[in-house]
Structure formats: C-alpha cells, structure tokens
Amino acid sequence: MIQTNRFRKCIWIINALRTHKALTLDEMNNKWMRDAVDCGKPLSRTSFNRNRDYISDSFGIIIDCDPKTYKYYISNKDAVMDGSIERWLMSTMAVHGVLTDSASVKDRVILENVPAGEEFLSVIVDAMRTNRQLLMGYQKFGAEAYEKVVCPYALKLFHQRWYMLARTAENQMRIYSLDRMTHLKTTEEVFELPEEFSPQAYFDEYFGVLTDGTPMAHVVVRAHKWTPNYLRTLPLHHSQREIASTSDYADFSFDIRPTADFIAQLLSQGDGIEVLEPKELREKMRGILTNSRARYEAE
C-alpha cells in the first residue's frame, strides 16, 4: 500500500509538471491540496525532494529548478518518449492511480482483454537479468507443439500481446508470442548478450514484431477523411513525416520495411488510407483488397 501511494504521488508530480511546464513549490502545493493527493496533507519541501529522487531512480525523469524563477521543470523530456519502459510504467501507474481513486465507477470503465501468457513474464525477465537460457514449450497456431532452448534477448508488447525476441541454438533470431507458450523454465546454462546488441535498434526499421528482412522502402500514403488526425496524434513509426496537406487529405511518408504487420495496420484504416509509393506496395495493397472484395461478391 505504501509503495502504491508513493507511485500515485510521483505520477501526480510528473503529470503536473508535464501539464504546466514549470511550477514553484508553492504553486505545486496549491494544486496538490486542491486535488487532495495526500489526504489533506501539504506537499512539504522534504516530501517533494524525496519524491523527486524516487522519480529519478524509478523513471529516469530529472526534475530541476530554475534558480531565477524557483520553478521546477522536467529537464530531460525525452525520458518519457514513446516506446520507453519508463513511459509505459508511468502511463500504467497513472491509469492505476485514476482507477484506484474512482472505485465507485469501476463498472463504467471497459478495458481490453489481454491473451494468456503473462505468467511467463517474470520467468523471462529473470532469465534476461541473469543471462540464462530458457527451456520453452511452444505451439504455433495449427502446428504441432515442440520444445526448444533459447536465449532471451528482449520483450516487446504489440497489439495487446507480449512477444519474446530470442536467439536459438541455430544462432537465428526468432520472435515468440507468450500466449502460445505451453511451459517455460529457466536452465542453468548461461549465454552472453553481445555488447553491441540493442533491441531498439533491432526493431528500428520495422513496425510491429515481424522482422523478416523485407527490404527498406520509402513509403508514401495519402490519408483521407478523419485519418490524418489519427496519424498526427499517434504516429505509426518514428520515421513518419507529414509532407503535404489539403482540406481533403494529407500525405505522410515512412522510411520503413513494409512487412505484413505494417500492411495490416494500413488496411485497418479501411478507405481512409491509400498507398501512393512505392508502386510495388501499392499493387500489393490493391491485390489484397481485390481478393477481399471477390469474397464478398462470390455469392
């Protein structure tokens, strides 16, 4: 309970500084008291400094003070960049804090279902921390189950599913979905993670979890109707750039490997997205849509 309360206080401080950019301790305390963050107790300098240190240690977020204005601000805003574990933790705890304080309306908050497999998270994280190999039972959809020893390199959350990136005994990098694991056990065998390996760099040119070597491409899409605002507020990839805009549509470019994951994401926008370049991808999209239409016209 103490840990949860501390998280709630820290999340409140982070959100206050993100919303108002900079606040003096008095300004922060006024908002703190108004929101009844700590059951009516004021935010003392000692308590604030203690929470500030905890925020730095837990989330990597640095809160500095401007000596001219005595206002506190987040000096390394990139620490809450999309895709970082700190950003995910902060978002999760912020939601947790809101729902905890709103138990009376819990039946009016609808969450998405998460597939099975979360029970393997702690085993994988512990194996990554100690660099130990895993004995994994796995069963692909429509295939026979099998056992395999793998070296866990990284975890990735994508579309409500957890995935493990691992190196096999054949020295191949493979992606495994946790909800398709049948059992998992840490072995006594250790492995060496290459010093130069970076999970972020490994997935940098991809959208999603498929990393099948699809060639790089400069993709240009035209977003119609309401779709431009969806792309503006939640970019699909870090390379996304808006290159043209009219009252009817907006064009966006991506430097990406257009795998099946990326194509599926574009298709999920329905007629709100049109691929302009490259020609090969435009033709592939046309073929998928033509086949889909043929199924509806088969009657």
Across the chain, mean pLDDT equals 87
- What's the CA gap between 252 and 254, in Å, rounded? 7
Q: Mean pLDDT over residues 209-234, rounded?
A: 93
Quote the pLDDT of residue 192: 93
Q: Does residue 178 fall inside a structural domain? A: yes
**Cβ contact 180:140 at 8 Å:** yes
Q: Does residue 168 fall inside a structural domain? A: yes
187: left (phi over 0), alpha (psi -120 to 50) or beta: beta
Domain of residue 97, residue span: 2-102
Which tens digits make up the pLDDT trace of 69-121?
A: 999 998 887 665 555 555 666 566 556 655 655 566 667 777 777 666 778 88
Residues 226 and 265 in one domain: yes
What one-character DSSP code corresponds to residue 224? E
- What's the CA gap between 4 and 96, in Å, rounded? 9
Quote the pLDDT of residue 100: 59
Quote the pLDDT of residue 90: 59
- What's the CA gap between 153 and 124, in Å, rounded? 9
Q: How confident is the model at residue 170 (pLDDT cuts 50, 70, 90)?
A: very high
- What's the CA gap between 188 and 39, in Å, rounded? 49
Which tens digits make up the pLDDT trace of 234-276?
A: 999 999 999 999 999 999 999 999 999 999 999 999 999 999 9
| CATH number of the domain where residue 290 is located | 3.30.70
Q: Does residue 111 fall inside a structural domain? A: no
Q: Mean pLDDT over residues 150-158, rounded?
A: 93
Q: Does residue 224 fall inside a structural domain? A: yes
Q: Does residue 77 fall inside a structural domain? A: yes
What one-character DSSP code corresponds to residue 218? E
Read off φ and ψ for residue 262, nearest 5 degrees: -70, -45
**Cβ contact 246:227 at 8 Å:** no
Quote the pLDDT of residue 1: 42
- What's the CA gap between 184 and 116, in Å, rounded? 14
Q: How confident is the model at residue 40 (pLDDT cuts 50, 70, 90)?
A: confident
Q: How many domains does the chain have?
A: 3
Which has more confidence, 113 or 153?
A: 153
Residues 97 and 9 in one domain: yes
Quote the pLDDT of residue 116: 66
Residues 156 and 97 in one domain: no
Quote the pLDDT of residue 161: 87
Q: Does residue 205 fall inside a structural domain? A: no
Which tokens sit at 197?
């390996």
Q: Does residue 285 fall inside a structural domain? A: yes
| pLDDT reading at 211 higher than 70 | yes
Amino acid at 171: N
**Cβ contact 100:114 at 8 Å:** no
Q: Mean pLDDT over residues 30-59, rounded?
A: 88
Of 149, 167, 199, which residue sits at a domain end? 199
Q: Mean pLDDT over residues 148-177, rounded?
A: 93
| pLDDT reading at 174 higher than 80 | yes
Among all chains, which residue has been given the structure tokens 């840990």? 3
Residues 221 and 184 in one domain: no
- Cα dihedral 5, 6, 10, 16 in deg (nearest 10): 30
**Cβ contact 133:184 at 8 Å:** no
